[in-house]
Amino acid sequence: MTMQVNNNVRFKADAQAVAVPVNYNNRYTPPMPVEMPSDDIFMMQAMAEQRAEKDAKSQQNWNKAGVVAQIGIALAFATTAVLGVLAAFGLKKFGKAAAAGNHANEELKSLTKVNLKWEDFSKEKTVASLDSKTTAKSLKKAFDNIISNRGLSEEARKWSGMGNNIDIMYLYGHGGTGKTYVAKQFAQETGAMYTCIKYPDLGSPYKDAASMRISSCFDEIIAKANAEKDKKFVVCIDEIDAVMRKVPDGQHGAEEVAKSRAAVLTGLDRLRDKCKNVTVITTSNYHPKNGIVDPIALRRFNNKIEVPLPKKEQIEALLEMYLKDIGAIDSKFYKSSEFKNFARKLEREGYSNGEVELIAKEAGKIFGSKLKKVSDTDLKKHPFKIKYLEDAMKMNGEAASKTNKLMDVKKGSKGSNNDPVRKLTFLQKLALLFSKQ
């Protein structure tokens, strides 16, 4: 009995000696009870298994994160590539759109912009003076009055009622009478810079483009006149009737003509208000009283001057001017009775300045053809003859003024100068009377 007690005491002493502190994961853990030494081993195994499971889950999570990261990077690269392609396509498309926009702007500018060409005939002296025999006396007298009024002082202009208004002329006459040439003569006589606006250059198939081009022209004129106030300017608007005619409402093109007419009238008013050094000369083949040109628009013009068909003296001067390069013609030819009779014939038939020029040039060609097989030593044996002018007259046919009714003035009276019966001789009238009976 005593021995057994001693063994128990010894076993407890040994157990106490064996039970030492255990360190798990570098963490101090108090010694487990002596009564449960086996539980400590199972616990250590369970903790090791938990730790391994935790590590496995952690590794699995890291693996998943890596896969997600790789997918994200791949998607980022793909997105960047797609965005790059779209950006390149967008820039290309934007570039095309910008180019198209620039082209459209340039086209719009070309549609609405008119570059005027200014000339100075007073320096070059390339135009005949108003004192020339080629200028009609009535026309020269009308221009002399305008130029003389220009020389008045400001007080004298007010006293005479002239004021400071600019001159706006309406030159009318048959085609070929030299209306545009007369405008150049006026510019040369007054020492003014000259420009000519031709309505065909202003016309456009695009809507409102013609009126915009007209406004652009007046903008340029006003800017130049105000920038050089010490100079004079003559602006010729050729074929003004293209925008001044009366077009019935509803007729094709009536709206565009109305807009162009409004643009011209507005431009003239702007010139009258802002520029005192500008003279406007317009030309037309229509008589101002024949009802074709809008009478309301004609109120803007303070000078309506007819450019008549040339008289005999003018025709002689014109022929001499256009035939001057033919060496076979001497001064005696122009003084001969046959030459004067030919000029009188052209006057009677109503040939214009332009038609006289054509006849003179055609006569030179006919004369040149006669010299084709003539040697240089025999040229003097072939002088220029009046028959060459007569042949050229036949080739050019009837004068345009005989068939051109643009200058006819509508009159209600039976005694109109346009009545063909008045132009008949007594015998012709008598024959006409008997034929009606």
**310-328 residue pLDDT tens:** 999 999 999 999 998 888 8
Query: Residue 238 in contact with residue 283, Cβ under 8 Å?
Result: yes
Query: Residue 226 in contact with residue 274, Cβ under 8 Å?
Result: yes
Query: Can you give the pLDDT at residue 63?
Result: 74
Element at 304 (helix H, strand E): strand 303-306
> Using one digit for the tens of pLDDT, what is the confidence trace for 231-248?
999 999 998 888 888 777
Name the nearest CA neighbour of 205 among 148, 259, 256, 166.
256
Q: Is 169 helix (H, G, I), strand (E, B) or coil?
A: strand
Pairing of β 168-172 and β 278-284: parallel
Pairing of β 27-29 and β 22-24: antiparallel
Query: Can you give the pLDDT at residue 302?
Result: 87
> Using one digit for the tens of pLDDT, what is the confidence trace for 327-358?
888 889 999 999 999 999 999 999 999 999 99
Query: Can you give the pLDDT at residue 11?
Result: 46
Which one is predicted more confidently, 289 or 248? 289
Query: Can you give the pLDDT at residue 359?
Result: 94
pLDDT, mean of residues 365-369:
91
pLDDT score of 309 more than 60: yes
pLDDT, mean of residues 140-144:
89
What letter would DSSP give residue 287?
Answer: -
Q: Which two tokens stand for residue 155?
A: 């007080």
- Span of 167-181, 206-220, 404-418 with lowest mean pLDDT: 404-418
Which one is predicted more confidently, 250 or 118? 118
pLDDT score of 393 more than 70: yes
pLDDT, mean of residues 158-180:
82
pLDDT score of 13 more than 80: no
Query: Can you give the pLDDT at residue 339?
Result: 94
Query: Can you give the pLDDT at residue 414?
Result: 42
Most confident segment among 138-147, 206-215, 217-226: 217-226
Taking all residues of the chain, what is their mean pLDDT, rounded to a whole number?
A: 78
CA distance 56 to 53: 5
pLDDT score of 430 more than 60: no
Burial degree of 344 (CB within 10 A; 0-12, 13-18, 19+): middle
Tell how far CA 378 is from the center of its chain.
56
Q: Is 198 helix (H, G, I), strand (E, B) or coil?
A: strand
pLDDT score of 41 more than 80: no
Question: What are the residue ranges of helices labelled H in 252-385?
Answer: 254-274, 312-322, 331-335, 337-349, 353-370
Query: Can you give the pLDDT at residue 61?
Result: 72
CATH second-level architecture of 313-406? Answer: Orthogonal Bundle (1.10)
Query: Residue 310 in contact with residue 345, Cβ under 8 Å?
Result: no
> For the whole model, what pTM was predicted?
0.67
CATH of 121-306, one of 3.40.50.2300, 3.10.20.340, 3.40.109.10, 3.40.50.300: 3.40.50.300
Which one is predicted more confidently, 433 or 418? 433
CA distance 353 to 27: 127
Ordered by start, the domain boundaries in the chain are: 121-306, 313-406
> What percent of the chain stands above pLDDT 70?
73
Quote the crossing angle between the two packed helices 337-349 and 312-322, to the nearest 10°. 110
Per-residue confidence band for 15, with pLDDT thresholds at 50, 70 and 90: very low
> Using one digit for the tens of pLDDT, what is the confidence trace for 404-428?
777 777 543 344 444 555 555 655 5
Name the nearest CA neighbour of 236 among 151, 116, 111, 122.
116
pLDDT, mean of residues 257-265:
87
Write down the residue that tokens 């300045």 correspond to. 353
Interior CA angle at 182 toward 177 and 187, to 5°? Answer: 170
In order of 90, 109, 203, 287, 346, the CA distances from 104 in angstroms are 20, 8, 19, 42, 54
- Span of 98-107, 148-157, 314-323, 404-413 with lowest mean pLDDT: 98-107
pLDDT score of 40 more than 70: no
Per-residue confidence band for 166, with pLDDT thresholds at 50, 70 and 90: confident
Query: Can you give the pLDDT at residue 104?
Result: 45
Q: Which two tokens stand for residue 321?
A: 């001017």
Write down the residue that tokens 């994961």 correspond to. 25
Query: Can you give the pLDDT at residue 124?
Result: 72
Query: Can you give the pLDDT at residue 163?
Result: 59
- Span of 155-159, 212-216, 270-274 with lowest mean pLDDT: 155-159
CA distance 188 to 147: 12
